[in-house]
Amino acid sequence: MRILLKLVVDCDADAAWRALHSPRAVAELYGPLVDLSPLESRGLPTTWEPGADVPVQLSVGGLVPLGRQLIHVSEIRTADAHGPVRVFRDSGIPLTGPLASLDVWDHQMAVSPAPGDPARTLWRERLVIGGPTAAALWPVLWSTWQWRGARIAALAPTWAHDPEPETP
């Protein structure tokens, strides 16, 4: 089963790409409702690196456990009719909690300059899930992805980190 998300956000594709690699930015996408915290004593990495396996705990407000998830990061660089496309892929798997009944979790997030406006980003996501409870979990995940899309649109303008030039 698939969940798709497509929107144009107010930041350039480089800023969106940096945000995808930032555990803090990713955690903000679910906040303040869902908290993402590290399971390893060294904490979350500064950036998600290709090949990394990062176990995290998800909870509601930091109080009610939702389960543990293994985030496995990889990247793909490709192109479409409008130019370069960078894909961030999490092919980890839910380890505990309701989502652990899924045996397929493939979350790909693609960013590219928006057609006709390189100052904005075309953001596309595809979540593929499978397993005995995929059909039952699909509506919940679809709703979560709608929330996620709204958060991406709201937070994207904050991802650019180039400081404004100071005026004398």
Domain that holds residue 136: 2-158
Q: How many domains does the chain have?
A: 1
Instruction: For residue 62, name the pLDDT band (cuts at 50, 70, 90).
Output: confident
Question: Quick check: is 168 in a domain?
Answer: no
What is the distance between the alpha carbons of residues 129 and 103, in angstroms, rounded to a whole number?
A: 8
What's the rounded mean pLDDT across residues 61-79? 93
Compute the CA torsion angle 4, 9, 12, 18 (nearest 10 deg): -60
Question: Quick check: is 7 in a domain?
Answer: yes
Instruction: For residue 160, name the pLDDT band (cuts at 50, 70, 90).
Output: confident
Using DSSP bridges, classify how beta strands 53-60 and 34-38 pair: parallel, antiparallel or unpaired.
antiparallel
Question: Quick check: is 67 in a domain?
Answer: yes
Question: Quick check: is 29 in a domain?
Answer: yes
Instruction: For residue 5, name the pLDDT band (cuts at 50, 70, 90).
Output: very high
pLDDT at 63: 87
pLDDT at 117: 95
Question: Quick check: is 163 in a domain?
Answer: no
What's the rounded mean pLDDT across residues 75-82? 91
pLDDT at 48: 94
Question: Quick check: is 164 in a domain?
Answer: no
What is the distance between the alpha carbons of residues 77 and 160, in angstroms, rounded to a whole number?
A: 21
**pTM (whole model) above 0.95:** no
Question: Quick check: is 167 in a domain?
Answer: no
Q: Find tokens 């389960």 and name the residue.
A: 67
pLDDT at 31: 79
Whose CA is closest to 56, among 64, 66, 47? Answer: 66
Question: Quick check: is 128 in a domain?
Answer: yes
Q: Of the given ranges (9-13, 143-147, 164-168), which has the lowest mean pLDDT?
A: 164-168
**Contact partners, residue 18, CB within 8 Å, separation at least 6:** 25, 159, 161
pLDDT above 60 for 47: yes
CATH number of the domain enclosing 39: 3.30.530.20
Instruction: For residue 167, name the pLDDT band (cuts at 50, 70, 90).
Output: low
pLDDT at 166: 64
